[in-house]
Amino acid sequence: MEFRSFKEIEVYPTRDLSYDFLGIHFENPFILAAAPSTDNVDMVRRAFDMGWAGAILKTTSVEGTRVDLCYPMMSTFDHEGKKLFGMGNIDLISEHHIDKVEYNVRMLKKEFPEKMVAASIMAGRKEDWQSLVQRLEEAGADLIECSFSCPQGNIGEDPGKMLAQSVSATELTARWVKEATKKIPVSIKITPHVTDIVEVAKAVKRSGCDALTASNSIQALMGIDIRTFSPYPSLGGRSTYSGMTGPAIKPITLRTIAEIARNVDIPILGTGGASTWGDSVEFMSVGAGVVQFCTVVMHYGFRVIDDLKSGMSHYLQEMKFSSPVEIIGRALPNIVTHDDLPRRTIRSHIDEELCIACDLCVVACRDGGHMAIDQRPSRIPSVDHERCVGCGLCQHVCPVDGCISMQVVP
Ligand SMILES: Cc1cc2nc3c(=O)[nH]c(=O)nc-3n(C[C@H](O)[C@H](O)[C@H](O)COP(=O)(O)O)c2cc1C
């Protein structure tokens, strides 16, 4: 085996990851989402020192707003040994009111002028929305994100319901916020819990706001203790619905971003399920301009930024892209309606050299497919091409990469 010296191996980012988005300079596409990690100025300082391009400070409100937290607030959806595959929280907005957050914005902008410092806001009344945005713009925030999608509901007239679930309320409130700004961009953080996400995105566009943050956590019931019948997280035997975040929700977010990007011309900040540089590429390829991270940071720490940056850098190099901007929207032309999909004859092919005779494809096809995979005396399975329809189930249950492929029959 040939060994290369450490110096020869490119371990550090080799591509410039910086670009402009929404009129703001980002040193890379990776920013911290509004969450516990951005509720403490010392934590944000540390994150910036480690290389995060920006942060959305946890959602704040006007002085006097009651923020009545309950503990414990976290629970987890572990799957087959993977911890925090989905994470549930019953957190609310920040306990820090605007006076503290405007101070934090000032401090951070002074110490880190090159970083994107954004603040997230939530209110009930028009005058409160407007005062929040004005005070934060005055303090030097680069962007305002409006939380219209807290899974625990909205402050104001209709508690328990998310603002972004009403197209008319979204448009009206977004207009109030935008009217009150002088020049900083405003992004509306929406929820995928709607019948038609495109209608919500169009309402934000009509309001004059600059961007969408898509698309927050998924409302979920995290689990039930089957001996006590207490839901999770259990607070003395009781619980409420959580906002679920983390890898489990990535496909929902991808669909939401793609659906908006295919139908409405508006910049998108992606959030919901991204953990790796590859996830970021996926988010950007369906239309996100930058990507926000929360659960992965709560799980593994700010240090994941090293991996995000070096992975993205190597990816750009491999793809011969000169900037992350070249990724934005690249996958969109490939997302079509079912009617527009190609109709081809496909059959499963098993590579006998790679097969480990585990039987998983045999059982899956027998009980969930078309009974098209037979086990031979050698235990290496064989595909009956008369019965196989090419559904692809066997390929997905196979534990060996590349062992089963779907091949087009000429
Ligand atoms: C504990 C916790 C608290 C959060 N608080 C807020 C918040 O105050 N405002 C907000 O807009 N989003 C909040 N979020 C949502 C995150 O900003 C993010 O959109 C969500 O976690 C999905 O991203 P992820 O899968 O990378 O975690 C919170 C998430 C968690 C886990």
Cis peptide before 215 (omega within 30 of 0): yes
CATH code, 306:
3.20.20.70
Ligand 1 center to residue 35 CA distance, Å?
5
- Does the beta carbon of 92 lie inside 6 Å of ligand 1? no
Q: What is the 3-state secondary structure (H, E, C) of 197-241?
A: HHHHHHHHHHHCCCEEEECCCEEECCCECCCCCCECCCECCECCC
- Picking from 290, 306, 334, the residue at the C-terminal end of a domain is 334
Residue 4 in any domain: the answer is: no
22 close to 210: Cβ distance less than 8 angstroms: yes
Q: Is residue 100 located within the same domain as residue 196?
A: yes
Q: Is residue 116 located within the same domain as residue 261?
A: yes
Take residue 403 and report the two structure tokens written for it.
């062992």
- Does the beta carbon of 295 lie inside 6 Å of ligand 1? yes
Percent of the chain as helix, strand, coil, to the nearest 5: 35, 20, 45
pLDDT values of the chain reduced to their tens digit, one per residue, 410 residues: 555 555 555 555 578 999 999 999 999 999 999 999 999 999 999 999 999 999 999 999 999 999 999 999 999 999 888 999 999 999 999 999 999 999 999 999 999 999 999 999 999 999 999 999 999 999 999 999 999 998 777 776 566 789 999 999 999 999 999 999 999 999 999 999 999 999 999 999 999 999 999 999 999 999 999 999 999 999 999 999 999 999 999 999 999 999 999 999 999 999 999 999 999 999 999 999 999 999 999 999 999 999 999 999 999 999 999 999 999 999 999 999 999 999 999 999 999 999 999 999 999 999 999 999 999 999 999 999 999 999 999 999 999 999 999 999 98
Letter string b/e over residues 16-50, b meaning 16 or more CB atoms within 10 A of that residue's CB: ebebebbebebbbbbbbbbbbbbbebebbbebbee
Residue 317 in any domain: the answer is: yes
Q: What's the confidence (pLDDT) of residue 280? A: 98
Q: Is residue 205 located within the same domain as residue 245?
A: yes
SS3 132: helix
- Picking from 299, 334, 369, the residue at the C-terminal end of a domain is 334
Q: Is residue 351 located within the same domain as residue 316?
A: no
Q: Is residue 102 located within the same domain as residue 250?
A: yes
Q: What's the confidence (pLDDT) of residue 153? A: 72
Residue minimizing CA distance to atom 22 of ligand 1 = 272
Q: Is residue 346 located within the same domain as residue 330?
A: no
SS3 79: strand
- Does the beta carbon of 285 lie inside 6 Å of ligand 1? no
Ligand 1 center to residue 152 CA distance, Å?
12
Q: Is residue 240 located within the same domain as residue 367?
A: no
Residue 13 in any domain: the answer is: no
Q: Is residue 369 located within the same domain as residue 322?
A: no
Q: Is residue 360 located within the same domain as residue 268?
A: no
SS3 251: helix
Closest ligand 1 atom to the C-alpha of 87? 31
- Does the beta carbon of 291 lie inside 6 Å of ligand 1? no
- Does the beta carbon of 93 lie inside 6 Å of ligand 1? yes
Residue 125 in any domain: the answer is: yes
Residue 5 in any domain: the answer is: no
- Does the beta carbon of 274 lie inside 6 Å of ligand 1? yes
CATH code, 381:
3.30.70.20
The residue to mutate among 60, 148, 189, 217, having the most atoms of ligand 1 within 8 angstroms of its beta carbon, is: 217
**Per the structure, how many domains does the chain have?**
2
Give the residue numbers annotated as catalytic, written as ranges.
150
Residue minimizing CA distance to atom 19 of ligand 1 = 216
Residue 9 in any domain: the answer is: no
Q: Is residue 120 located within the same domain as residue 179?
A: yes
The residue to mutate among 32, 84, 294, having the most atoms of ligand 1 within 8 angstroms of its beta carbon, is: 294
DSSP 307-363: HHHHHHHHHHHHHT-SSGGGGTTTTGGG---GGGS----EEEEE-TTT-----HHHH
- Picking from 334, 358, 389, the residue at the C-terminal end of a domain is 334
Residue 14 in any domain: the answer is: no
> Which residue, 373, 404, 402, is CA-closest to 386?
373
Q: Is residue 51 located within the same domain as residue 90?
A: yes
- Does the beta carbon of 273 lie inside 6 Å of ligand 1? yes
CA atoms of 360 and 368, how far apart (whole Å): 11
Q: Is residue 142 located within the same domain as residue 238?
A: yes
- Domain holding 51, by residue range, is 19-334
Residue 29 in any domain: the answer is: yes
Ligand 1 center to residue 159 CA distance, Å?
19
| Residue type at position 53 | A
